């Protein structure tokens, strides 16, 4: 049964030339994704759910009815809780039950499959992805302590969502967050001032964290100082004796986007914690979590691009101007073709990275390629999504469409888990410290030689320009060039529109804005949508 149609005859005028904008199924209507994952009934079911009116309404509610900080109960006792709209919880349950945090670890899937779930959900409600991503990424870090892993791991990979405020041993499913950043250090976590004091078998933490995303998780990986140096700890949100661990939420961050996710500022004041890993080895321990969160920050921009592109193409196919459909206007067709090539490349690159996460022999390549993909795709996303917005004209600037939300979301994944400069320096550091990573990347680039002269020339130019590592001031130029070449290698191996990508990214001269390309037949590119 469908709802009654809205009225088009309004007395003063009739509504026409306004294309219907049905919710898109991010699985069934994505040929690239299906080709990469094959037949998958669960992903198909998730796609149908994400296209449903009920889930789209839940996403809208989660984005507009914002999380609310509740510091005290009615008697004045501290509770430090965040209240979410039911739409938020509905989306969390949908993602976790579909295997967002579990499928890479529970034997039912892979990191590639996990990345596909992230890609699909990012198109509908990106804010809920943060706590689910951290839950997924925290699993490998727990290997540093078998006892903690025995308690937490089964609950983190359980396909369920439980919001009860009780200790983890009393729950069947749990979520995990992360709190590293402090005011004085930012990305320089070694400057952290939070300190840990031994207390029996555990520790008490004292300090402040400037960013703590998803503060209603069941636990958090965090960093604090011991005499031996910066150390990783697991902070339980709720204690086994049914008391609340001191976990003071000072405020929720008023962010540009990612509104459904309650990023916060917190204080530890005698907060109980378990040490995770050896004293003084905090960065080395938590980097396992960071490495896996970076996979999602490399995949999410592809999801945001695809959602924006879908809105633009659907509008252009249904809207008529000057006696022609918008999509049949040569200039609009050039713009949409260029944008579709961008979205395809971002997705193919992220899928390639995810495959590397599934191959232990390619772990060095995974560490390097995820940084390259995160850097390039996130730098491309804001401009690409803006151009999609402009395709809708004034409608694209209105909150009735998802375009403003997608545009606000676009810078996020470049900033989180290492901003652009940090990622570029990490790329240089990896190339110096991990010869296997450099060798595996070079092998991937070299394997693509001989397939297209445009790629061969670009690779030769890159190596002529930088026969060795560049000076630090050129790290962004170097990283962009290297990531673009890797994209080319991946596109030639995986995408039927590789020639269009080569022609517009490595071929003849083009302008600097979307659609400023040589005239081309965009049918093959646009038909994939």
Domain residue ranges in the chain: 31-280, 284-527
Q: Measuring CA to CA, how many Å separate 212 from each of 43, 152, 179, 324?
A: 30, 20, 5, 51
The confidence band for 1, taking pLDDT boundaries of 50, 70 and 90, is: low
Q: Which CATH superfamily is domain 284-527 in?
A: Butyryl-CoA Dehydrogenase, subunit A, domain 3 (1.20.140.10)
For the stretch 307-339, pLDDT in tens is 999 999 999 999 888 889 999 999 999 999 999
Residue 8: pLDDT over 90: no
**Confidence check: pLDDT of 468 > 60:** yes
pLDDT at 222 over 80: yes
- The pLDDT assigned to 454 comes to 97
How do residues 477-509 score in pLDDT, each as one tens digit? 999 999 999 999 999 999 999 999 999 999 777
Q: Is the pLDDT of residue 280 over 60?
A: yes
- Find where tokens 């995303």 sit: 213
Question: Which are the contacts of 323, defined by CB distance < 8 A and separation ≥ 6?
Answer: none
Between CA 228 and CA 21 the distance in angstroms is: 58
Interatomic CA distance for residues 500 and 475, integer angstroms: 28
Q: What confidence tens digit (pLDDT) does each residue in 411-460 have?
A: 999 999 899 999 999 999 999 999 999 999 999 999 999 999 999 999 99
pLDDT of the residue at 356:
98
DSSP single-letter state for residue 191 = G
Higher pLDDT, 235 or 524: 235
Residue 466: which of 455, 456, 475 has the closest Cα? Answer: 475
User: Where is average pLDDT lowest: 3-12, 57-66, 213-222, 233-242?
Assistant: 3-12
3-class secondary structure per residue, 65-122: CCCEEEEECCCCCEEEEEECCHHHHHHHHHHHHCCCCCCCCCCCCCHHHHHHHHHHHH
pLDDT given for residue 494 in this prediction: 97
Mean pLDDT of 224-245: 96
Q: Do 31-280 and 284-527 share a fold?
A: no
Q: What is the pLDDT of residues 266-275, one digit of tens each?
A: 999 999 999 9
Q: H-type helices in 434-527, by residue range?
A: 435-447, 453-465, 475-494, 498-501, 523-527
Whether the Cβ atoms of residue 59 and residue 132 lie closer than 8 Å to each other = no
Give whole-number Cα distances, 228 to 196, 255, 398, in Å.
Answer: 11, 36, 54
Mean pLDDT of 280-294: 95
Query: Tokens standing for 256?
Result: 């540009």
Of 94, 81, 130, 116, the C-alpha closest to 259 is 130
pLDDT at 18 over 60: yes
CA distances from 358 to 33, 105, 354 (A): 17, 11, 7
Instruction: State the pLDDT confidence band at 2, using cuts at 50, 70 and 90.
Output: low
Give the fold, CATH level 3, of 31-280. Answer: Butyryl-CoA Dehydrogenase, subunit A; domain 2 (2.40.110)
Q: What burial letters (b/e) apply to 424-435, b meaning 16+ CB within 10 Å?
A: bbbbbebbeebe
Report the half-sphere exposure of 319 (CA within 13 A, side-chain side). Answer: 17
Task: Write down the pLDDT at residue 385.
Answer: 98
- For the stretch 372-414, pLDDT in tens is 999 999 999 999 999 999 999 999 999 999 999 999 999 999 9
Residues 6+ apart with CB under 8 A from 512: none
- pLDDT for the residue 509: 74
Kindly tell me if the per-residue pLDDT of 111 is higher than 70. yes
- Distance CA(16)–CA(18), nearest Å, equals 5
Give me the mean pLDDT over the 56-75 stretch. 97
Percent of the chain with pLDDT over 70: 100
Q: What is the DSSP letter of 507?
A: S
Confidence of residue 522 (pLDDT cuts 50, 70, 90): confident
CA distances for 444 relative to 112, 362, 488, 493, angstroms:
19, 11, 11, 10
Look at residue 526 in the predicted model and tell me its pLDDT. 87
């Amino acid at each position: 049964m469908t709802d009654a149609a809205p009225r088009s005859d309004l007395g003063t005028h009739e509504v026409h030339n306004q294309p219907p904008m049905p919710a898109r199924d991010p699985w069934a209507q994505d040929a690239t994704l299906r080709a990469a994952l094959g037949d998958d009934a669960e992903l198909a079911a998730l796609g149908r759910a994400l296209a449903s009116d009920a889930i789209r309404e839940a996403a809208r509610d989660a984005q507009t009815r914002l999380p609310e900080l509740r510091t005290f109960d009615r008697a004045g006792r501290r509770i430090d809780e965040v209240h979410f709209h039911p739409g938020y919880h509905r989306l969390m349950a949908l993602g976790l039950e579909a295997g967002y945090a579990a499928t890479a670890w529970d034997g039912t899937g892979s990191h590639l499959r996990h990345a596909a779930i992230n890609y699909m959900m990012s198109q509908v409600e990106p804010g809920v992805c943060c706590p689910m991503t951290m839950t997924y990424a925290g699993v490998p870090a727990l290997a540093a302590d078998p006892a903690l892993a025995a308690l937490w791991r089964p609950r983190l990979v359980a396909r369920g969502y439980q919001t009860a405020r009780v200790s983890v041993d009393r729950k069947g499913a749990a979520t995990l967050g992360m709190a590293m950043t402090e005011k004085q250090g930012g990305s320089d976590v070694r400057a952290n001032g939070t300190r840990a004091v031994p207390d029996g078998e555990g520790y008490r933490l004292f300090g402040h964290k400037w960013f703590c995303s998803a503060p209603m998780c069941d636990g958090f990986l965090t960093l604090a100082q011991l005499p031996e140096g910066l150390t990783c700890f697991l902070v339980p949100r709720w204690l086994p004796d049914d008391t609340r661990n001191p976990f003071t939420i000072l405020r929720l961050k008023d962010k540009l986007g990612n509104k459904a996710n309650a990023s916060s500022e917190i204080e530890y004041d005698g907060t109980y914690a378990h040490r995770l890993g050896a004293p003084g080895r905090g960065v080395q321990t938590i980097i396992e979590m960071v490495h896996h969160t970076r996979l999602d920050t490399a995949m999410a921009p592809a999801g945001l691009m695809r959602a924006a592109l879908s809105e633009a193409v659907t509008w252009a196919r249904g809207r008529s101007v000057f006696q022609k459909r918008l999509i049949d206007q040569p200039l609009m067709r050039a713009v949409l073709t260029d944008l579709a090539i961008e979205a395809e490349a971002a997705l193919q690159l992220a899928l390639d990275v995810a495959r590397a996460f599934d191959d232990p022999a390619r772990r060095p390549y995974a560490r390097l390629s995820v940084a390259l993909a995160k850097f390039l795709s996130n730098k491309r996303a804001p401009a690409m999504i803006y151009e999609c917005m402009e395709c809708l004209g004034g409608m694209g600037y209105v909150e009735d469409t998802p375009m403003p939300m997608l545009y606000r979301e676009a810078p996020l994944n470049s900033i989180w888990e290492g901003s652009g400069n940090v990622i570029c320096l990490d790329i240089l550091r990896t190339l110096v410290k991990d010869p296997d990573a450099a060798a595996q990347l070079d092998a991937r680039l070299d394997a693509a030689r001989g397939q297209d002269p445009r790629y061969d020339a670009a690779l030769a130019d890159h190596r002529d320009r930088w026969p060795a590592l560049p000076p630090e001031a050129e790290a962004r130029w170097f990283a962009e060039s290297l990531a673009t070449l890797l994209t080319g290698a991946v596109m030639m191996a995986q995408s039927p529109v590789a020639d269009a990508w080569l022609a517009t990214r490595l071929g003849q001269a083009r302008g600097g804005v979307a659609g400023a390309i040589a005239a081309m037949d965009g049918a093959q590119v646009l038909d994939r949508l």
